[in-house]
Structures are given as structure tokens and as C-alpha cells.
Amino acid sequence: MFTGIIEELGTLESFTPQPTGARLRIRAATVLSDVFSGASIAVNGVCLTAVDLEPGTFAADLAPETLSRTNLGDLRPGDRVNLERPLSPSGRLGGHMVQGHVDGTGELVALEPLGNDNWWLRIKVPAALDRYLIEKGSVAVDGISLTVARIADGEMAITIIPHTYEHTTLGSHRPGSRVNLECDMLAKYVEKLLAARQG
């Protein structure tokens, strides 16, 4: 379980296609301070298993499902990635409950300056995910816990504060970039329960 509070920006060192899936290697520091082989690390909001640990880097294997549902297959060596370790039992839940199980990708429409280093982020949302998003609700975008400011006509808009812009990968995205989306899991449980009652 994660919180969507990004701990550091890592750098992709390599992306190696495999007969099934792929393996990536990421350079990092903070998230490696207490890592062990088999530990979970969220990479752009995707919960991955850290393996093949080396000084300053870790590797992770990507299943075909991960490649088809996330933007990790779009990465190239040198790209920055958002990194977060799992929530510890004594930690603070500063964002919201994020599983690291990405629901799908959205398309960045625009990242427009609002002034004073604030930004207005617009993302085209897949129709299958639109029903799980509400104004003032939580969403994870590339693993970043954010609050939906507006949702209409298949787009959601989010205000990005200076700290988030400076300490995540959002500023490196361009219109058309794919971003990982994880909707609030409570909405999905409620939908299933209501469907069972109606059935």
C-alpha cells in the first residue's frame, strides 16, 4: 500500500525486452536506503518488485499485463520516474490509499501555467474509468496523489502546486503523453456492491 507522496525521482538506466514482458533498471538513492530483494517500490504508480540490487540501482520485471495497462513501456533510458516505498505501519497517510495497481492510462491534454508556479493539468480519461472519478475526489496520476478539480466531457482537470511540479515527473510530460491512472478503490467496491444488490 502506498500514499501517492513521491519520495524521489529516479532515472531509468535500461529497458530490456524479454521473451515475456521486459526488465527495467532504475538508478535511485532514497528508496534504496532500506530495500531488500523482493521489496515493493512504486514506479510511476506501478507496484513493482525490486530485484537484482546493485549499488545505487535496482531492477524490476514487467509482465505483459503491466506493459499493456501502464505507460512503463513508453520509457526510454534517461527518463525520470516517480518513486515511492510502501507505507510503513508507523507512517503518516499524507495522500490517499494507493495500491499501485494502475487501472489504465490517460492522455495528457495540456499543462497550463496559472501563475505563481501553479499549473492546470488536463487529462483525457478513458470512458471505462470516468465513472470512478468525482470532483474533489482522489486520483493517482503516475503515482502522485492528486485531487480532481473538475471532471467533464471525458476530461479531468487538476491544479498542480509548485512543490508537486518541482518534485515529480509532471513537468517533463508533453501533450499526448500517456499517464498512469489509478482511481480510488472505494469507488470500485461500491460499484460492485451496488451491482450485486441490483442483480
Residue 25 has pLDDT above 80, yes or no: yes
Cβ neighbours for 74, distance < 8 A, ≥ 6 positions apart: 177, 178
Give the integer Cα–Cα distance in Å for 56 and 38.
Answer: 16
Please identify, among 54, 84, 114, the residue that sits at the C-terminal boundary of a domain: 84
Q: Which residues constitute the domain of residue 188?
A: 104-198
pLDDT digits (tens, 9 = 90+) for 52-63: 999 999 999 999
Note the pTM of the prediction, 2 decimals: 0.94
Q: Is residue 97 part of a domain?
A: no
Q: Quick one: 121 and 193 in the same domain?
A: yes
Annotated catalytic sites, by residue?
2, 40, 47, 49, 63, 101, 147
pLDDT at residue 165, as a whole number: 97
CATH number at 39 reads 2.40.30.20
Q: Quick one: 76 and 115 in the same domain?
A: no
Q: Quick one: 80 and 108 in the same domain?
A: no
Total number of domains constituting the chain: 2
Q: Is residue 99 part of a domain?
A: no
